Amino acid sequence: MTAAVRLQDLRKTYANGTEALRGIDLEVEAGDFFALLGPNGAGKSTAIGILASLVRKSSGRVEVFGHDLDREPQEVKRRIGLVPQEFNFNHWEPVEEIVINQAGYYGIPRRVAYEKSRRVLRELDLWSRRRAQARSLSGGMKRRLMIARALVHEPPLMILDEPTAGVDIEIRRSMWSFMQEINRAGTTIILTTHYLEEAENLCRSIAIIDEGRIVENSTMQALLHRLHRQSFLLTLRQPLQELPPGSPVKLTRADPHTLEATLEQEQTLNALFRWLDRQGIEVLSMRNKQNRLEQFFMDRVRNRKEEARP
Amino acid sequence: MTFHSRYWTAFYTLLIKEVLRFLRIWVQTVLPPAITTALYFIIFGNLIGDRIGEMDGYGYREFIVPGLILMAVIANSYANTVSSFFQAKYQRHIEELLISPVPNWIILAGYVAGGVARGLVVGAVVTGVSLFFADVEVAHPLLTLMVVFLTSVLFALGGFINAVFARNFDDISVIPTFVLTPLTYLGGVFYSIDLLPEFWRQVSLANPVLYMINAFRYGILGVSDIDPGMALALILGFILVLGAVALWLLWKGVGIKS
């Protein structure tokens, strides 16, 4: 099966000498929902910029659905829809014109472009604002406009660079279900986000990039399975003045009504609850202290920083 | 979809976008040249022109018509591409084109066509205003159209190159203010260079705008200070050079790609 994206030894050094990518190898399967994560300045946007032809690579190879970026740039571009991090449309243009023009750049005749734009604007709930100038839209609507614009030529690969940044939870959730829908319909999605809960809920594969290198690349399931440690917060019915000794897991008292339990990979919650029961401590509710992927991400990035320290 | 129809669609999409852009702001783009031209005619044509008398065998009002039209065409062709392309860079919507399968020559052709469209629309409006004040018949229609079209293409290309290098709004007004305006005003719009002392006449011959205005004047009135054929060759030569430079800049991604 042809990979949607194949990056081989991809490198980028900017004119000021900054090495943004230091030899990236990455493969994204067709139909995948892929998370590309990393701290700020790790190289995510550079990698996406190269894929979308906005940044020139220094060396390496880029293939999109088997088409080489150097030899067939137009074929590569035709297959990609990009939703960038920052608003990059003409703020004075009406919404519908922005989408129709984008279709035109992909060679879609105006009459057909009009039909396609009507479909995507309806799907993204922007039809009623189609004649409004883009600058008059709310932040969430502007994000949806960028998605509509990226979808109008029906690309098999969508790259979404922090598409839900700054939007409220309701719109975020509706965007999640929209992304899942287009992925189910066969579109490969590459997502970068700072909301790790978003990546964990939506993506099937993940790569973590740090300081221009891929430091993790696997399926989401395999990665979460490798988590060594998880922390939970337990809310108690009665206040607890002092923690009894002998807990089977690491247990600390956050406040009189809350306990923090940290479980290593081989430890179970059953053992903890049996012990709590024996102590007569009643638990009303329990939640993860940190999103699981966030915990992994923090551990991975922190470890690298510590390794790098002289 | 064939190769040609795909590119043609991309080209006319860009052209329509550009035309809609300047028509949307017609109060800033189309109206001012019409008012300025009317003022030129009232002041230089009616008030002062009658005292000047004939120039190259024509009344002064008739003499300045070609120069005023071409001056508006030059300024507006340049202004359209420089402001539109710089705005596209500034607001980053140039990325809409860079990520699309649009070859560089189509991007250039689309922006230049937009500049030419504005130049010709404004040229037509200024011509309309001129006809209120002066009675002019076109001596060589084909040459007139060729000169106005090619001059418009040339300055649209100039505006595009200016926008590629521009980093802020000051950069897009420096060339029009300090280069284009003096060259146009000293390019024989209001006078024949035969009136100048020999030294300044020779200096004027180094001004390329002089050739364009005179070729256009020859097209309309049938009189010129220089050979219209040479002027056409000069315009075409400049178009080839600036076109090649603009394409090279796009290919290198100067000002638009990291």
Cβ neighbours of B16 in A, within 8 Å: 101, 104, 110
Q: Does B26 touch chain A (CB under 8 A)?
A: no
Residue A300 has pLDDT above 80, yes or no: no
DSSP secondary structure letter of residue A43: S
Count CB neighbours of B258 within 10 A: 13
Smallest CA–CA distance from B103 into chain A, residue: A74
Q: How far apart are CA A113 and CA A153, in angstroms?
A: 9
Count CB neighbours of A267 within 10 A: 16
Handedness of CA A66, A69, A71, A75 (dihedral sign): positive
CB within 8 Å of chain A, chain B residues 210-249: none
> B147: distance to nearest CA of chain A, Å?
31
Q: How far is CA B43 from CA A144, B40, B50, B124, B250, in A?
A: 54, 5, 10, 21, 44
Strand segments (E) across chain A: 3-13, 19-29, 33-37, 59-64, 67-68, 80-83, 157-161, 188-192, 205-210, 213-219, 229-236, 250-255, 258-264, 283-288
Question: What confidence score (pLDDT) does residue B151 get?
Answer: 96
Least Cα distance to B92 among A264, A54, A258 occurs for A54
Q: How far apart are CA A275 and CA A278, in angstroms?
A: 5
Smallest CA–CA distance from B90 into chain A, residue: A88
Question: What confidence score (pLDDT) does residue B256 get?
Answer: 82
Matching residue, tokens 């290919």: B251
Answer yes or no: is the ipTM higher than 0.85: yes
Between chains, do A104 and B9 touch, taking CB under 8 Å as contact? yes
Q: How far apart are CA A242 and CA B180, in angstroms?
A: 84
Between chains, do B101 and A86 touch, taking CB under 8 Å as contact? no
Q: What is the mean pLDDT of residues A216-240?
A: 83
Segment holding B59, helix H or strand E: strand B58-59
Cβ neighbours of A84 in B, within 8 Å: 95
Q: Which two tokens stand for residue A239?
A: 């206040």
Question: What confidence score (pLDDT) does residue B254 get?
Answer: 87
Partner residue opposite B95 with nearest CB, options A88, A92, A101: A88
> Domain locations in chain B?
3-252
Cβ neighbours of A102 in B, within 8 Å: 96, 100
Q: Which two tokens stand for residue A271?
A: 């053992």
A117-163 pLDDT, tens digit per residue, is 999 999 888 999 999 999 999 888 999 999 999 999 999 999 999 88
Cβ neighbours of B97 in A, within 8 Å: 105
Smallest CA–CA distance from B253 into chain A, residue: A56
Contact A168, A133 (CB under 8 A): no
Least Cα distance to B212 among B128, B153, B137, B130 occurs for B153
Q: How far is CA A191 from CA A92, A162, A188, A216, B157, in A?
A: 28, 7, 10, 15, 39
Amino acid at position B199, single letter:
F
Residues of chain B with pLDDT under 50: none
A6-47 pLDDT, tens digit per residue, is 999 999 999 899 999 999 999 999 999 999 988 888 899 999
Question: What confidence score (pLDDT) does residue B31 get?
Answer: 93
Partner residue opposite B99 with nearest CB, options A52, A100, A107: A52
Query: Would residue A65 be called left, alpha or beta, if left means φ above 0 and alpha means ψ between -120 and 50 degrees?
Result: left
Q: What backbone phi and psi angles, to 5 degrees, belong to B19? A: -65, -45
B206-249 pLDDT, tens digit per residue, is 888 999 999 999 999 988 888 889 999 999 999 999 999 999 99
Question: What confidence score (pLDDT) does residue B219 get?
Answer: 92
Cα B169 to chain centroid, rounded: 20
Domain at A3-224, CATH homologous superfamily: P-loop containing nucleotide triphosphate hydrolases (3.40.50.300)
Between chains, do B99 and A149 touch, taking CB under 8 Å as contact? no
Smallest CA–CA distance from B97 into chain A, residue: A105
Query: Does the domain spanning A227-308 belong to CATH 3.30.70.1560?
Result: yes
Asked which of A7-21, A171-185, A214-228 is least confident by mean pLDDT, the reply is: A214-228
Question: What confidence score (pLDDT) does residue A309 get?
Answer: 55
> Domain locations in chain A?
3-224, 227-308
Q: How far apart are CA B137 and CA A59, in angstroms?
A: 62
> A23: distance to nearest CA of chain B, Å?
18
